[in-house]
Amino acid sequence: MGEWQNPGYLEEIGGILHVDGVNVIDLAEQYGTPLFIFSEARIRHNVEEIKSAFQHPLMKTRVFYASKANSNLAVLQIIKDAGLDVEVNSGGELYKALMVGFRPDQIIFNGVAKTEREISEAVERQIFCINVESSYELDQIVRIARSLGTRANIALRTVPEVKIGTYGSLETGTHAKKFGISEDELLDSYREALRHPEHLALIGLHMHIGAQIINPEKYKAGFRALLTKAATLYEATGHWVSHLNIGGGLPVPFIKKGDKYLSQMIISDPSHQLGNVYGMLKADTSLEDIAQATIGQLEDGKFSQMLDSIGEGFQRVLSDICIILEPGTRVVADTAVLLTTVQNYKKRRTTGDTWLLLDAGFNTLLDILAYNWYFHAIAANKADGRAERPYKLAGPLCDSGDIYHDSEGLGRLPDYRMLPDEMKPGDLIAFLDVGAYTLEQMCQYNGQPRAAALLIRQHGNVQVIRRRDTYEDLVSHDVLVS
């Protein structure tokens, strides 16, 4: 069995990749490529796994799905029906969440540059909470709530000063980044919020330290920083919040076990830089380890005593506080594959390289350019073949960065993908774990219509959840001038 296989979900049957028992070659023939294929069963499995891991006998917990990862309406419907709440990051995402039936009291609004319109829509809808990014935004919310004659629920986003040790662009929890209220302003903002009880309800504190975090100690440090801030603010003001939001960042294993080519890259890397990246993308940290590093600390007697020493009686109020989690990637990343067709190939005699040119590039998987991200590739129509021949993969765009290896030359990604012998035009390649930040980021660069997406329902039916762009869609927002 290939290391990528997941019995009952992703399987090789008769040499063909199957998703939830459905032959992907048949889907490609019927719907064309590039083509995203989502699994309802896998989405529901991930939701239950997260909910189970973060249950705590002494503490209330709520999980808000970070819809920026994937806000397709069908995906949102399934996540809502599976029992999660939702976090949005724009007025558009708020609109989508309400459209599929999330109640306002199930919605948190994040965002570093909320517009007047977005704040007004959130306040008017009386959503569960607005996470406040600055003292300026706090004043905005007070003014808008006053003008609407209502009261807004808010949490203050803090800066825990935790470096996660992965790509710098994945870090969000230090003062070097654009997120959160600085430590030297936090108490002033907390007091300012309490000065407007008729228009603000200060219900929480929020943090988010980054994405794809594999070290439980980073979660531990962030959670301790958040609890310590809550205790300190309680001691200074006598006001305790009812919710502590620890953000998301739960890791997903993008690299599959047994990838010999990647393993050899790591062994031959003298700087050990690749080892750090490989570990992040391999992500073998369990949800249980992360849960223990966060809410599990509440059972640590010494830590409890420390909190009480900051704010007398803080342990007493902890039992009334709800812990909020905001996972996105972990909910949806491994729930989809992308099928792409080999359209062309080239053999370079000077280098010995064989290139496979695909109909999906960074217009379809933007993270291969934006983050030098790795998505595991298999030959969907030769899934039983021995993946031992190296190929260079590239997309269709007239852009030298449209390649499936390291566009920056930093050595973060493998130059080659291992696939069976004699790959040729017409063969299908499937990229795995593409359910997050893909449908959201697709673009029409080079006049490329955006891909379609299918959903395999639990009962086995296949439904289109995003139609493929037409040529007419490419010009639907353009205006000819006379």
Q: pLDDT digits over 9-41, tens only?
A: 999 999 999 999 999 999 999 999 999 999 999
| Average pLDDT rounded to a whole number, residues 460-470 | 97
Residue 1 pLDDT exceeds 80: no
Q: What is the rounded CA–CA span in Å between residue 79 and residue 326?
A: 13
Q: What is the rounded CA–CA span in Å between residue 218 and residue 381?
A: 41
Q: Where are the alpha helices (DSSP H) in 109-155?
A: 116-125, 135-148
Least confident stretch, 222-236, 354-368, 428-442: 222-236
Q: What local confidence, expressed as pLDDT, does residue 256 receive?
A: 85
DSSP string, 30-91: HH-SSEEEEEHHHHHHHHHHHHHHT-BTTBEEEEEEEGGG---HHHHHHHHHTT-EEEESSH
Least confident stretch, 123-132, 205-214, 215-224, 262-271: 262-271
Q: What local confidence, expressed as pLDDT, does residue 277 receive?
A: 76
Residue 330 pLDDT exceeds 60: yes
Phi, psi dihedrals of residue 385, rounded to the nearest 5°? -75, 155
Q: Give, in words, the CATH class of 110-327.
A: alpha beta
More confident of the two residues 165 and 358: 358
| Average pLDDT rounded to a whole number, residues 51-70 | 92
> Considering 129, 322, 398, 443, which one is annotated as catalytic?
398
Q: What is the rounded CA–CA span in Å between residue 110 and residue 122?
A: 11
More confident of the two residues 70 and 272: 70
Q: What local confidence, expressed as pLDDT, does residue 279 receive?
A: 79
Residue 271 pLDDT exceeds 60: no
Q: What local confidence, expressed as pLDDT, does residue 10 receive?
A: 97
**Among 106, 96, 2, CA closest to 62:** 106
- The domains of the chain are located at 10-39+335-474, 110-327
Catalytic residue flag (residue 398): yes
* Architecture in CATH for domain 10-39+335-474: Beta Barrel (2.40)
Write out pLDDT tens, residues 398-416.
999 999 987 666 666 788 8
Say if strands 35-39 and 336-347 run parallel, antiparallel, or are unpaired. Answer: antiparallel
pTM over 0.85: yes
